[in-house]
């Protein structure tokens, strides 16, 4: 049997996010986030399916960390809840911050490296009431919150991620309306994207000012969810252009300012005539912003689940010929998260997950190589990769062979990219345990660990036991 080896010191871990697992939404001074509000709006995708309890991680954290230790995780990627640390986006709340002090200490005491994300979509509702990420002031409030966290934990945490998937925050939140705060305001998504990047840049600048450099063992990065955009019909000019637009609004709107210090030229032409607050989005980009945004990073987090194969509208197809994950399950109409002309995602014939996402590990390799070749990306961590499956407990076990197969395929694809010179330093499964999922509530499961939401019993799935052995051996057999 052929064996593929990972580099010495390769970081194996699993990921989760505060809103999805913590519960305790009213405990210790926490105030509402935009997700607490969004899930109660009639017509929202998750109306009535709240995360008030979630996985009770806020109360069960020591036991959960002990389970991570038993499974051999070397690192845990978690997020901090802004409304818990700085309620309403205001002053520091010591009681809320203390939870993350205890979590950090618990991880370190068990030999697990904390890998925190400062923002995983749970904006304080009070800041949204003042405009949210379309308000430039939110970037400065993010800096205040982030530096308060760094003040408290910077002596024990070495690696910091500013934002998780700002595409979802900006375009799903402010253009498409499918995620909190549920606004459908066209080019507002680009304005929100800029202010998210500004908040990122402000923290990086302050972090560097405090001596946060890799040669001192302190690193900072950002996590994106870039896609591979292939036209459904390469001979159809409209589909080729749809793929270009998707790449611009999904990938290059973040990658170009971060690594090239500018926004793509075609982003400007694609939004020509679109206004937010009676102004083009370019008016929200002030002198000095791009210099902050493009400050060099120590690592890039990459989340990957699938590529995208768009077809331009109009497209003559029956609904069953389109990928179901693109059809929002809601009584409230949705707009495309891409400003301007819409697009659809026809089936290509590839196998799909239970969530109806197409499985394309080759696209993962292509994406990682592109980040190296086009953007000269810094070292990469795969901060999310995994699969939703309809898992059930049978005789005390969960036989989730599809999850193991998916992860294995993508690890091979990642190794293919590493063979082509991509510097990948670690891999985090999404997710550590089943939890509240942003578009499907608790009905769909991504976890290595099964959670019975009625009893809160945790059951490691077969994939968790397999992943534990893989991480310990640091090598992957070739079937």
Is the pLDDT at 143 greater than 70? The verdict is yes
| Residue 390 pLDDT class (50, 70, 90 cuts) | confident
pLDDT at residue 330 tops 80: no
2-478: CATH, from 3.30.70.890, 3.30.1490.100, 3.90.1150.10, 3.20.20.80: 3.20.20.80
How high is the pLDDT of residue 442?
84
CA–CA dist 156, 161 (Å, integer): 15
Per-residue pLDDT for 458 more than 90?
yes
Tens of pLDDT along 22-78? 999 999 999 999 999 999 987 776 766 788 999 999 999 999 999 999 999 999 999
Average pLDDT, the chain: 94
**Is 268 among the catalytic positions?**
no
User: In this predicted model, what pLDDT tens digit does every residue of 106-128 receive, in sequence order?
Assistant: 999 999 999 999 999 999 999 99
pLDDT tens digits, one per residue of 376-387: 999 999 999 999
Q: What is the pLDDT of residue 331?
A: 42
Q: Tell me, what's the pLDDT at 323?
A: 75
- Would residue 384 show up in a list of annotated catalytic residues for this protein? yes
Instruction: Pick the catalytic residue from 106, 238, 358, 384.
Output: 384
What pLDDT score does 246 carry?
95
Asked if pLDDT for residue 417 goes beyond 90, the answer is yes
Q: If pLDDT is split at 50, 70 and 90, which confidence band does 329 have?
A: very low
Can you tell me the distance from the alpha carbon of 301 to that of 379, in angstroms, rounded to the nearest whole number?
Answer: 9
Query: Residues 165, 238, 358, 408: which is the catalytic one?
Result: 165
Write out pLDDT tens, residues 170-184. Answer: 999 999 998 999 999
The pLDDT value recorded for residue 47 is 65
pLDDT of residue 327: 43
Beta bridge partners of 382: 302, 427
Share of the chain above pLDDT 90, in %: 85
Cβ 395 vs Cβ 450: under 8 Å: no
pLDDT of 199-247, one tens digit each? 999 999 999 999 999 999 999 999 999 999 999 999 999 999 999 999 9
Dihedral sign for Cα 233, 239, 240, 246, please: negative
Q: How many angstroms separate the CA atoms of 240 and 232, rounded?
A: 8
pLDDT for 324 equals 62
pLDDT of the residue at 202: 98
pLDDT at 128: 98
Q: Return the structure tokens found at 165.
A: 């998937």
Share of the chain above pLDDT 70, in %: 96
């Amino acid at each position: 049997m052929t064996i593929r080896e990972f580099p010495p010191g390769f970081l194996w871990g699993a990921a989760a996010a505060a809103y999805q697992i913590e519960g305790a939404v009213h405990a210790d001074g926490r105030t509402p986030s935009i997700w607490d509000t969004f899930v109660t709006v009639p017509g929202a995708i998750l109306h009535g399916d709240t995360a008030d309890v979630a996985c009770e991680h806020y109360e069960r954290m020591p036991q959960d960390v002990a389970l991570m230790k038993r499974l051999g995780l070397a690192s845990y990627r978690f997020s901090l809840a802004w409304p818990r640390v700085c309620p309403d986006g205001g002053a520091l709340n010591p009681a809320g911050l203390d939870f993350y002090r205890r979590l950090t200490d618990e991880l370190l005491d068990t030999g697990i490296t904390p890998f925190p994300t400062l923002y995983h979509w749970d904006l304080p509702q009070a800041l949204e009431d003042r405009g949210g990420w379309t308000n430039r002031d939110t970037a400065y409030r993010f800096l205040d919150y982030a530096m308060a966290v760094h003040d408290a934990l910077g002596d024990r945490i070495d690696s910091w991620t500013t934002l998780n998937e700002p595409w979802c925050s900006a375009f799903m939140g402010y253009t498409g309306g499918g995620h909190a705060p549920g606004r459908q305001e066209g080019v507002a998504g680009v304005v929100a994207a800029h202010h998210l990047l500004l908040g990122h840049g402000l923290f990086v600048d302050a972090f560097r000012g405090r001596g946060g450099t890799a040669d001192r063992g302190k690193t900072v990065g950002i996590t994106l969810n870039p896609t591979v955009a292939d036209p459904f019909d390469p001979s159809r000019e409209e589909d080729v252009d749809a793929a270009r637009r998707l790449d611009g609004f999904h990938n290059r709107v973040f990658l170009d300012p971060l690594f090239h210090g500018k926004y793509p030229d075609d982003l400007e032409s694609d939004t020509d005539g679109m206004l937010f607050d009676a102004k083009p989005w370019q008016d929200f980009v002030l002198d000095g912003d791009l210099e902050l945004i493009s400050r060099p990073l120590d690592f890039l987090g990459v989340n990957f689940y699938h590529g995208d194969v768009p077809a331009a509208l109009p497209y003559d197809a029956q609904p069953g010929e389109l990928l179901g994950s693109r059809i929002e399950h809601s009584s409230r109409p949705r707009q495309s998260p891409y400003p301007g002309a819409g697009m659809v995602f026809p089936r290509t014939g590839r196998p799909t997950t239970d969530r109806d996402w197409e499985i394309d590990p080759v696209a993962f390799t292509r994406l990682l190589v592109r980040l190296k070749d086009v953007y000269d990306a810094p070292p990469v961590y795969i901060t999310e990769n995994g699969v939703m499956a309809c898992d059930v407990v049978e005789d005390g076990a969960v036989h989730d062979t599809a999850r193991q197969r998916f992860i294995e395929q993508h690890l091979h694809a990642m190794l293919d990219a590493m063979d082509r010179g991509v510097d990948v330093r670690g891999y985090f499964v999404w997710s550590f345990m089943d939890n509240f999922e942003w578009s499907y509530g608790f009905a769909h499961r991504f976890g290595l660990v099964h959670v019975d939401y009625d009893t809160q019993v945790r059951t490691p799935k077969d994939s968790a036991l397999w992943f534990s052995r893989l991480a310990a051996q640091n090598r992957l057999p070739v079937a």
